[in-house]
Amino acid sequence: MNIEIFARAESNVRYYCRHFPVVFARARNELMWDVAGTRYIDLLSAAGSLNYGHNHPAIKRKLLDYIDGDYIAQAIDLHTSAKAEFIAEFMQLVTATHAQPYRLMFTGPTGTNAVEAALKLARKATGRTRIGAFTNAFHGVSLGALAATGSVSKRRAGGLPLDGVDRYPYDGYFGTGTDTVAMIERYLDDPGSGYELPAAFILETVQGEGGLKVASDPWLRNLAALCRRRDILLIVDDIQAGCGRCGPFFSYSAAGIEPDIVCLSKSLSGYGLPMSVLMIREAIDCWEPGEHNGTFRGNNHAFVAAAAALQVRKTAEFQDNRREIEAILDAWIADVSAAHPASRPRGRGLMRGLEMSDGAVASDVCRLAFERRVILETSGPRGEVVKFMPALTMRPSLMREALAAVAEAIEQTIAPTRTKAGTSSLRTQASHAGARRTHVHPAKHEEPAIAAAEGAAP
């Protein structure tokens, strides 16, 4: 199939398809096939919206049964059996991991809708107008969320002044020796700083588009304590880092904090279906009925898939697999960064990255990996981080295969300046990944053979 139809009809704004210029047709778990039958290993997971892989069989079965029964598909905010099942399953998880009571607000359909609602509610609940956001943050590209986003390239497309947000330094922004929470408190104490008391701070515990920088648990606890002292709301944008991507379902759980508002989307539905939710601390749920709404907040197909995904997540098989592939990726990143000191580990859990010397190097690594049929993207303000976002259901053997291909791409990228010792060490770590190199350049029309090996048709 010719890709010219897309170039002729779609806006210049299209992005991912420019980096992966093929026409995809089928997918299962961590694998995708193009229309010619060529197989690709997916380390992008639709920008983190497919934590359970493509077409997870248990989720798919529940969804198809629901559709086949002619149950409600779209219901705005009407009560439905599908929504009730999701709420029951999800609130069981919330009450098991939080001490304070929360309510759910279905904002649908995207993550930026959840962020907009969170900012609006924080201002309404506190009577203040300013929002505190952090360096290198990404919260979406609608105007309110864009104001909280740090990326200059995204902000310049807004077309209007992006007001109402003050920028604060994220954990580690000035290096490991600077306590940025103490700095923030100093700003708020100083009547000459120009900073007003904000309605809320909004943050990501791992900055998905900002270079996979991680907020440490002590930093999160200190910021949460500052918020309590000052009567400032704490909003955690867990749209990308949540839903199990960093280990626990909620990325902030290890820090022992309980935000006032939590934004969830992306992998919440478990199947790539549009869905977004706010968790709101019960005491600040001050909305009037209908005061904030949205037509597509009642996607019942997403509710069905999300409830099924939460059931999958509870199985020992799922959790054991997640831990195994996380250990493989963690060891591989450590090996590569040791062999190539110019690269630095980023992220945590299965939201990981390698920071390269600059954006051109990271882009070349991703391009050469795609030539080896592995799909991954870059992150960071300069695109300098090679980003790994595998499905949490990815098979260990395919994780090793993909990482071996990426190791080859790194070797080829740094070859002009690499020392002989560096060549040896990178090849050694690629070998440790246990890759089956016969699959690095898969032949076209190999799909039937792969399907037979996996014991199921794609």
Helix (H) or strand (E) holding 236: strand 233-237
Over residues 232-244, the mean pLDDT reads 99
More confidently predicted of 314 and 452: 314
Tokens 């990726």 locate to 329
Cis-peptide, bond into residue 109, ω within 30° of zero: yes
Residues 6+ apart with CB under 8 A from 240: 47, 48, 111, 204, 206, 208, 209, 266, 351
457 band by pLDDT with thresholds 50, 70 and 90: very low
Per-residue model confidence as pLDDT tens digits over 424-442:
445 445 445 444 333 333 3
Over residues 380-409, the mean pLDDT reads 98
Nearest to 401 by CA among 439, 427, 367: 439
Window from 39-43, 120-124, 317-321, 419-423 with minimum mean pLDDT: 419-423
Over residues 228-233, the mean pLDDT reads 98
pLDDT at 141 over 80: yes
Residues above pLDDT 90, as percent of the chain = 88
The residue type of 438 is T
pLDDT for position 432? 53
pLDDT for position 436? 35
Residues above pLDDT 70, as percent of the chain = 90
Per-residue model confidence as pLDDT tens digits over 315-325:
999 999 999 99
What predicted TM-score, i.e. pTM, was given to this entire model?
A: 0.92
pLDDT for position 418? 52
Cα–Cα distance, 201 to 256 (Å, whole number): 17
Top-tier CATH class for 61-313? alpha beta
Interior/surface letters 134-163, b for 16+ CB within 10 angstroms, e for the rest:
bbbbbbbeebbbbbbbbbeebeeeeeeebe
- The residue count of the chain comes to 458
Domain ranges of the chain: 4-55+317-454, 61-313
Structure token digits, residue 356? 């390269």
Going by CATH, does the domain composed of 4-55+317-454 fall within 1.10.760.10? Answer: no
pLDDT for position 342? 87
Q: What is the mean pLDDT of the chain?
A: 92
Nearest to 132 by CA among 168, 172, 181: 168
